[in-house]
Amino acid sequence: MRKTAQPKLEQLPTEQLNPASSDLDLKPSLEIARIINTEDATVAAGVERTLPEIARAIDWIAQALANRGRLIYVGTGSSGRIAALDASECPPTFNVPPSTVQFVMAGGVRALSKAVEANEDSRELGMREMRKKKPTKKDVVVGIAASGRTPFTVAAVEYARKAGAKTIAVTCNPDSPLENAAELAIVVETGPEVVAGSTRMKAGTAEKLVLNMLSTGAMVRLGYVYGNLMVNLHQKNSKLTERAITIVARALDTSREQAREALQRAGRDVPVAIVMAKAGVSREKADKSLQAARGHVRKAIAAAQPLTTLNHRGHRDHGDAQR
């Protein structure tokens, strides 16, 4: 990792004045909303330019999780809160343990609701907090900082990389210390903010979009999504129970009543219900197949499919299961 000079904050693209929002304080509410909306519309295009790097990151994360490693986000301020949001949404969405996707944030959990800006400047704290996570070569650590220069985040990523973890930078300014600290950089150049320097706006939106892709993409690769259905959800309230019925009905192309019955036979377990119906097997067989496939629904269907006939080449015919 080569050392680069710390860029001056006022020189960063995200800190520049945005001509599109000049005299913003003189605008009526509708015009303020229109200006913000117009600027926000540019973010997706910036993310699109980084898709090759995002795809590579998804592969790294999926491989790490498949090998019982972890995805660990690290950030401060708005970036840290966005990271914490993505990490906290993974267990209810994909039914993975909270330890699978974690976050490290300057100031700890209390910084989620109260700014603790001073901690951002401490490299020592960044290394200390990452050291507590005990990163290894099985893990992927993603550092998020719009500026790309936050000492806490840069130091945490450097520590993780030295410990053998795969490291990824997510930032909105090119040629930054964070980009240099990580093995892979996702640099979404969002440019000047509507409110100069308020990187919770376009830069924050870009970070949220990228983290959505990283976690969701990895979970899809692991088979926790069937087709485009969120099959691994927890049914902890009436809304989620109704959603589970809808998911099973769509997966099996059947009525809601039949889906409800399928769920009951499967012990209210959505993946088990789908594997049972698709492969035509018992609950016990479906459950074992899912365990063997480590939750990958489509692989579990293929594995559970009873041996029926051989095709003209003498290969096993999986019938309804997609390979």
Strand partners, 104: 74
- Say how far apart CA 218 and CA 209 lie, in whole Å: 14
| 142 residue type, one letter | V
Nearest to 179 by CA among 165, 161, 202: 161
- Say how far apart CA 285 and CA 282 lie, in whole Å: 5
Strands of the 101-105 sheet, one edge to the other: 101-105, 71-75, 140-144, 166-171, 184-187
Place of tokens 């951002």: 120
Length of the chain: 323
Nearest to 285 by CA among 295, 293, 294, 275: 275
Q: Is there a catalytic annotation at residue 89?
A: yes
For the record, the structure tokens of 206 come out as 């870009």
Nearest to 320 by CA among 310, 151, 19, 306: 306
Question: Which residues are CB-neighbours of 157 under 8 A, at least 6 positions away?
Answer: 74, 130, 141, 143, 167, 169, 178, 181, 182
Q: Which of 15, 39, 120, 179 is catalytic?
A: 120
For the record, the structure tokens of 320 come out as 């309804």
- Say how far apart CA 89 and CA 96 lie, in whole Å: 10
- Say how far apart CA 220 and CA 156 lie, in whole Å: 28
Alpha helices in 222-294 (DSSP H): 238-252, 256-265, 270-279, 283-292
State whether residue 21 is helix, strand or coil. helix
Q: Which active-site residues does the annotation give?
A: 89, 120
